[in-house]
Each structure stands twice: as C-alpha cells, then as structure tokens.
Structure 1
Amino acid sequence: MSPHKLLAITNDIGGFSPALATWYGDPYGAGSGGACGWSNDVQSPPFSAMIAAGNANIYLQGKGCGNCYQILCTRPPYCSMNPVTVTITDECPGACNNVPFAFDLSGTAFGAMSSPGQADNLRNLGRVDVQYRRVPCNYGITKIAFKTDPMANPYWFALTVQFCDGNGGLSSVEVAANGSQQFRLMKNIWGAVWAVDVDPSFRGPYSFRLIALNNEQVIAINALPFGFVPGKSYYSLVNFRS
C-alpha cells in the first residue's frame, strides 16, 4: 500500500484530521514551555518531555496551553502507527502557519512516533504529515499545580496553572484570600499566566476557582500558603475529571 493511500484511509478513522509535524531542540530533548510560561517544567513528570508547540490554530493566543492531542504518524517504515499524546506548552510561529494545523514536537515526542530502531531516521526527515485529534488530558495521580511567578509581590499576584486533567485549557481563574468567600477574577496576561493587582492586605492561604473551556469547574481550597516563595510550584488536592 502506498503512503498516499494509507494517509487517505487514516483521514476517515477515529476522528483524526490531517496536520504537519516537525520537531525542535535536542533530538532527545524536552522542548520548551516558553510561550505558555512553564519554562523547563516540561522536562519533568508528568509532562516528561511529551510536549509540542502549536501553530496559531492550536496555540490559540495562549488559550491552547494545556490542551492535549494524540498525534498519529502513518509514514512507513519510519512510524509505529501508534498515536502519541502530547500537551501544548509552547507556540510555533512563522513557517508553522503555512499550513492550517501544525505541531512542533520536542525531539523526544517526535521520536516516540517511530517504529523500533527508526527514531533517528524519522527525525532526519525533519517534517512529516500526521493525523491529530484533541483528547482529554490525564496526568494520573498528579493534581493541579500553581506555580507562582518569580516577580510576584504584595501588589501583583501572578501564577501559572499546570496539569489540568480533562479539557486541559482554562477559560477563567479566580482567587480568594484567607477566609474570604469573595473570589477575584484574574486576567490571562499571556500563555498560561494569570495575574491580578492586589494590596498587602490580600493575604493567604489562597483558594482558587478554575473554570475549564467546557465550563466544568473545580475549587482548590488553600492551595497556596501565606508567605509563598515566588517561582515555586504548589500542588492542590483537586483536579478535573479526565
């Protein structure tokens, strides 16, 4: 069977749609969380380097951060025909937007699409036509984490939200100070970074109400302590349904 016939068949199965896949960074590297604000966290579990940068139609001006996709490579003999799951943690600008949908995978994630012994040969292609579909995120036992911005201070409260199961992306983040039932709406200033102006009377521990893009919501009570360390991650006890 020719690659063209095989591609035509996979266009019609399992809700997959055509896209372009490339890779960046080190061949065995983790990529980046740069445009979503997750920096080098992509190297560690539960991301474990299985990430991708999306073009404009995937990154969605930051609203795509945290969304999960299955990527299926169908090119013999290089590809295993088994889909891999990646999380969007970065943006791929420029040439990635020459096609409607493009994923720039970490070297590790790109190689994971390969047949045994074909990882380097697949990476040597540089780019390959793939199939993709949106899937629920599932980070196992990992709960939602809040990573405080390194520049957070008593007058500017900012953080990123990580490891959301289910829909992955967030439409709204609200924060409440110690003992308060009044949640303040935070603003998505870029990527997965949310911020709100406060004053020193706005003291922790802090609780959060998160609303996913599908309108599911969770409340993380006292997820961030008073006297938090800027730049540190704090894990809650909750997550969305996966």
Structure 2
Amino acid sequence: MAFNLQNIFSIFISVCLISSFFANHSLASPYDDELFAYGGFATALGTWYGDPNGAGSGGACGWADDVKSPPFSAMIAAGNARIFLQGKGCGECYQIKCNRQPYCSGKPVTVTITDECPGACNNVDYHFDLSGTAFGAMANPGQAYNLRNLGQVDVQFRRVPCNYGRTRIAFKIDGSVNPYWFSVKIEYADGVGALRSVEIAPAGTQNFVPMTNIWGAVWVANVNPSFKGPFSFRLTSTDNTVLVARNAIPSRFVPGQTYFSHVNF
C-alpha cells in the first residue's frame, strides 16, 4: 500500500509541475520576453524589399506611403510573426546591425516596425525585412550596393524606445468615416511605440469610449450623429503608460487628413 501511495503522490507532483509549466508559458506575453525588454542584442535574419533606395511599406500597419516622409524617413522594417505580433508590434522600434565584413559597419541603425513579413519569413525565429534604405544604412561607406546584393545577412537586434524628436502623435482619419463609424490610424508614438488601448471622447466631455483595434495601427469606434468633435483621445501604451491628447481632431475634420496632437509619450 505504501508503495502505491508513493507512486500516486509522485504522479500527482509530476502532473502539477507539467500543468504549471504550460500555464506559465501560455500566459506569458511577448512583452515579458527578455528579447523585447530594453537590453542586449539577440540574433535574427535580415533581408530587404522594394527598391534598393526605397522606403518599404506601411501597408500592414495602415500607414501606407507615410513611411517615405519624416519622421519615419524610410527607416522601417517588416517583421515576421514574432515581431509583428498580428499588428500589436506596429510602431515598435529596434536597433539592428550586421558585422559581416567587408560589407557591414557593425553600427546599429534604428527602424520602426511598419509592415509584416509573412510566409517564409517565419522559417526562423526572428526575421526583419528592411526597406532598401534601412538595409543599406547598415553598410560600411561605399558598400551599400554590395551588402544589398547579398540578399540576406545575419543581424543582431534589440528593442529600443522610439524617439521622433519634436514630432507629436498623429491621427490619420480614414477616408470612409461616416456619422455612425469613426476610424483613425495612429502614428509616431514615442517610448514603447505600440498601443494597448485607445479611447475617444467627443467635445466638452470626459466620457471616453473604447475603440477597437481592427488591424495594424487602425482603431475604430461605432458612434452616432451626436458624437461630434473636437475629439480627444486617451492612449495606453503596451507598458501601461497613459496619455491624453485633448482636442486632437477638430470638429470640422476632413476624412483622409492627418492631424497632429500636442503630446507624445
């Protein structure tokens, strides 16, 4: 009997340990991972897409050709699934460098995640598909063409705070908004760069209404004709920092237009 009880107890302990292991891993978020803390460099595969001196794309995050202009200035990258995070990685910033000689300078360049690299990009744990401009920026002087000609190179990366200088958070209104549906793309967030939640309030109130993140950096809310601007926004970043952008969008806004707030993280 003692032998059987001991075996049963051992099995019980083993089941508890296994359950704990899977529970801890299933509850872990990408933001708990050491690779996504501000720390040392990890390894990844680096490639480039688009024109050799091009800006890549902001398509999967909703920013379209905004990546060509400051403050992105073509220094962007598409990330694979573990970086793009189904759009939750939009706006995060990374330092990326390569050391392959004689092509690479070994000096890090800073890029913003603005796009997704799907399919074969997920054959490795971490894959950055940089714009031609950003990929070439990793090169030694005179070696940008030769570096791009390699097609791919092993890189080191680390998460860093975003810093867009004097640029404030911007709100780009969807071209198809109507009195019952409001949609906005949010750009240029400093700090962690990505947003956990967004709320919108109409003129003269503090009654913030939750918005839904439908894809990338696109947030929407169901409204009604009485919901009028100027609109204020309460933004919560993925590190739970809260920021309020008051009267960021005027009452007579133009669909498709971008409006800059007076604040940033």
Bin the TM-score by the shorter chain.
over 0.9
Q: How does 1:42-57 map to 2 (within 5 A)?
A: 42-57=67-82
- The CA deviation at 1:220 is 0.4
Shift of 1:236: 0.3
Aligned to 1:57, what secondary structure does the other structure show? Answer: helix
- Taking the aligned partners of 2:181 and 2:152, their CA distance within structure 1 comes to 42
Correspondent of 2:96 among 71, 76, 79: 71
For 1:74-223, list aligned pairs within 5 A: 74-223=99-248
Work out the CA distance in 1 between the residues paired with 2:242 and 2:107: 32
Task: Please point out which of 49, 66, 69 is paired with 1:24.
Answer: 49
- Aligned to 1:108, the other structure's residue is in SS state helix
- Encode CA deviations 1:126-180: one digit per residue, 9 max, x unaligned: 0000000000000000000000011111111000110000010000000000001
Q: Which amino acid aligns with 1:126?
A: G
Q: Using the alignment, how far apart are the partners of 2:214 and 2:234 within structure 1?
A: 17
Shift of residue 54, structure 1, vs aligned partner: 0.3
Between structure 1 and structure 2, the one with the greater Rg is 2
Corresponding residue of 2:85: 60
Unaligned runs of 5+ in 1: 1-13
CA distance in 2, matches of 1:186, 1:60: 19
Q: Which amino acid aligns with 1:69?
A: Y
Deviations 1:173-226 (A, max 9, x none): 000000011000000000000001111110000000000000001100000011
SS, match of residue 41 in structure 1:
helix
Structure 1 consecutive aligned stretches of length 4 or more whose deviation exceeds 6 Å: none
Indicate the SS of the match to 2:224. coil
**2:66 matches 1:41:** yes
Whole-Å separation in 2 of the counterparts to 1:55 and 1:49? 19
**Superposition deviation, residue 121 in structure 1:** 0.2
CA–CA distance in structure 1, aligned partners of residues 79 and 126 of structure 2: 8
Alpha-carbon separation, structure 1, partners of 2:256 and 2:102? 44
3-state SS, counterpart of residue 15 of structure 1: coil
Which AA in structure 1 matches 2:98? C
1:11 paired residue number: none
Q: Distance in 1 between matches of 2:132 and 2:113?
A: 14
Aligned counterparts of 1:35 and 1:227: Cα–Cα separation in 2: 29
Please tell me the residue identity of whatever aligns with 2:208: F
How high is the TM-score relative to the length of structure 2? 0.85
Residue 233 of structure 1 aligns to which amino acid in structure 2? T
Aligned amino acid, residue 214 of structure 1: D
- Measure, in 2, the Cα distance between the counterparts of 1:224 and 1:230: 11
Q: Shift of the alpha carbon at 1:68?
A: 0.1
Q: Give, in angstroms, the shift of residue 81 of structure 1.
A: 0.7
